Amino acid sequence: MAWWSRKNQLPVEGKKSVPRGLWTKCEKCGESLFDAELEENLRVCTACKFHLRLPTPARLALVLDEDSFVECDAGMKSTDPLEFQIDGKKYKDSLRKAEANSGPADAFLAGSATIEGQPCEVGFFVFEFMGGSMGSVVGEKITRQFERALERRVPAIVFSASGGARMQEGVLSLMQMAKTSAARARLQEAGVPYISVLLHPTTGGVAASFAMLGDIIMAEPNALIGFAGPRVIEQTIRQQLPDGFQRSEFLMEHGMLDMIVERKDLKATLARSMRWFTGSRAKA
């Protein structure tokens, strides 16, 4: 039967093939979702309400006022100080590929913007760029974002979606945890608000540093949030974890979050939170 191949197979009468790019399978409930309807619903599953990952450009359009975003530090790019490679794959090649596939030069976009007219310094992890991993450039961009917020005395907002520190940069990436946390502490000392928005997933060194240090910490429903993944923890402690462990609802129940906000309500909730902070400072 060596002569047989899929391309030789005759079409079955009455059977229609489904073109690629029309359907998406929900990673939680497994429902097949029509892409056009999924986009209209902000990439929220119509069957189980699971919030699928939203592309970064769509995230900006969803939460920011139209044409208000002015990007800062756009030209910053990661280098390869350790000349890292694994299985013959060079880190510098991975960087070039990630930039070509995602658009941005690294895994974080930051700049000045408004949300319902409220000025802020806002940053977005680009999960499409190497899983939103945090290297030296990401840490520097976040630090500069906090410094601009401090200088302008406007709220800082970070949308986190990351697999954690970038292993290809070794200790240089781990240093960003302390660096960003120190910059966030300076905001706190000056009384400048910081709102942390946790998306699916927020893990590793990002979750263990600035992402969990917000004056207000909010998350989308059912987002995976934690340092190590559930499977790693189970294998380490050799115990079965509770249902929903490390999901937004579990963290909310245990006092780790201030609120869970559906995607459609995120912009209004952020604007209301910023107005509350501004009013509080004015009265003080």
The mean per-residue pLDDT over the stretch 130-147 comes to 97
pLDDT above 50: residue 18: no
Per-residue pLDDT tens digits for 214-240: 999 999 999 999 998 888 898 999 998
Give me the pLDDT at residue 1, please.
39
The mean per-residue pLDDT over the stretch 14-20 comes to 46
Look up the pTM and report it. Answer: 0.88
Q: What per-residue string of b and e applies to 182-210 under the rule 16 or more CB within 10 Å gives b?
A: ebbeebeeeebbbbbbbbbbbbbbbbbbb
Three-state SS string over 247-264 comes to: EHHHHHHCCCCCEECCHH
Domains present along the chain, CATH in parentheses? 21-52 (no CATH), 54-283 (3.90.226.10)
